[in-house]
Amino acid sequence: MANKDISPEKEENEGVYKDFKDLRQKLDACARFVGLEVTIPTFVLSWRGYLVIFIAISFAVGAVYTVYKGLIIDGDWMVLLQCTCQAGAGAQSIAKLIFYIKDRRFLWVILDIMDVTFEHESRGDHYKKCLQEDFQRIKFWMKGFGVLYFIVVSLCILFPFFYYIKYKIKLMMMTFLVPGMNPETKYGFYLLTAFHTVCMVVGGVGNYAADMYLLFFISSAPVAKNILRCKLHDLDVKLEAFRSHNKISSQEIRQDMVHIVSWHQKYLRVLECSERVFFVIIFVEISACCVSNLSILYCILRGDWPSGKVYIFFSISTFMMYCTLGTIVDNSNSDLTDIVYNFRWYDLPLTEQRTMLYMLRRTQATAGLSVGKMLPLNMQTALQLSKTTYTALMILLRGKETVD
């Protein structure tokens, strides 16, 4: 993607731009592991991708079979709650799989804008400092969730073994069955455990790559906002010279304004593409997390799923991550309004003042991310949904006490 105000030379050997490219390669490696490197224009499904699709279908079929066997054959309604403990993760994986592939062209647009964004490192120290701070924040998030995913997947795999050593009781790694793999038999249990292990590893790596791509793409909006801040700061300096010493021509001011407006359009384009790709994914993620959290907490309190104590921490963490990202976007939109308003727009020529007025109005009407267009994606929504989950949990527990 071309941009006239950026030098064609890229500092690929040092600095933030190189770190940015390295981080992209690491994310691409995670996506390549599951055969879904959708961020490259030449993407085609490989055997790994088909294997992941097969595992996702098997997970869905296994969940339906588990509900049928438990509810229809055995008459145990608790199987519904037990299946939804991890069915949420399966639903999230399937949604990410479908919409990352379906809308990958919008991901390419965001990556092009991010590439141009980090090229601004060469424009001055204030640009470089801004990019370094934003990049370190993104990198910190990714490392933190990388550790979280590794710990959770490892504990979910190892917990049944430790539990068997201590209590001599066999636990299933996941809460769904597979037709033909009877956990009551020795070989059926080992075969089911092996399949669950594959699901945990592939699902862990795939979900990590998908969530970190989402974090990577959505975090590009605040980065683009800070670059716009730097551009307006540069124009502030020129306007001061323009008014006091007349050393800057009005044509140069106009060219800078064209670049600023163009960059604001890129910021809006990032939000638009993010909404297109992640709209359904965010809705499924938040909905599934709420249902899973309710089911896991209920099963833990009943003592039906000991491994749930490990998984609940992961489920709550991903739920909070998504809501935090929504809050970051909301804060970015609010900051952008302040940045434009505090700019020396009153020193601009009249034509450029009208442009800035339109830009200010546009920043005030910029929408953030949402949960199915029903709720804004932010920490206030996280609090509301957490209260609703707690209320539902109390109703279920009170119903259990009444039955007992």
DSSP assignment of 62-116, as one string? HHHHHHIIIIIIS--THHHHHHHHHHHHHHHHHHHHHHHHHTHHHHHHHHHHHHH
> pLDDT tens, 369-404?
889 888 899 999 999 999 998 898 888 888 665 555
Least confident of 183-192, 240-249, 262-271: 240-249
Report d(CA 19, CA 138) in Å as an integer.
11
Q: With 50 as the cut, is the pLDDT of residue 3 above it?
A: no
CA 184 to chain centre: 39
Return the percentage of the chain with pLDDT > 90, whole number.
6
Q: With 60 as the cut, is the pLDDT of residue 167 above it?
A: yes
Q: Which helix (H) or strand (E) holds 118?
A: helix 104-118
Q: Return the pLDDT at 384.
A: 92
For the chain, give every domain's residue range. 31-403
Q: Return the pLDDT at 13.
A: 43
Q: Return the pLDDT at 12.
A: 42
Q: Return the pLDDT at 203.
A: 84
Cβ neighbors of 50 (< 8 A, separation 6 or more) are 35
Instruction: Supply 20's token pair.
Output: 């940015």
> pLDDT tens, 175-187?
788 888 888 888 8
Q: With 70 as the cut, is the pLDDT of residue 6 above it?
A: no
Q: With 60 as the cut, is the pLDDT of residue 72 above it?
A: yes
Q: Return the pLDDT at 169.
A: 82
Q: What angle do CA 30, 31, 35 make, to 5 degrees?
A: 125
Q: Return the pLDDT at 174.
A: 80
Report d(CA 92, CA 67) in Å as an integer.
19
| Region 322-330 average pLDDT | 90
Q: Return the pLDDT at 4.
A: 44
- Count CB-CB contacts under 10 A for residue 60: 16
What is the residue-averaged pLDDT of the chain?
Answer: 84
Q: With 80 as the cut, is the pLDDT of residue 259 above it?
A: yes
Q: With 70 as the cut, is the pLDDT of residue 159 above it?
A: yes
Q: Return the pLDDT at 385.
A: 92
Q: With 70 as the cut, is the pLDDT of residue 242 above it?
A: no
Q: Return the pLDDT at 248.
A: 66
Residue 245 burial class via C-beta count within 10 angstroms: exposed 0-12, middle 13-18, buried 19 and up: exposed
Report d(CA 49, CA 59) in Å as an integer.
15
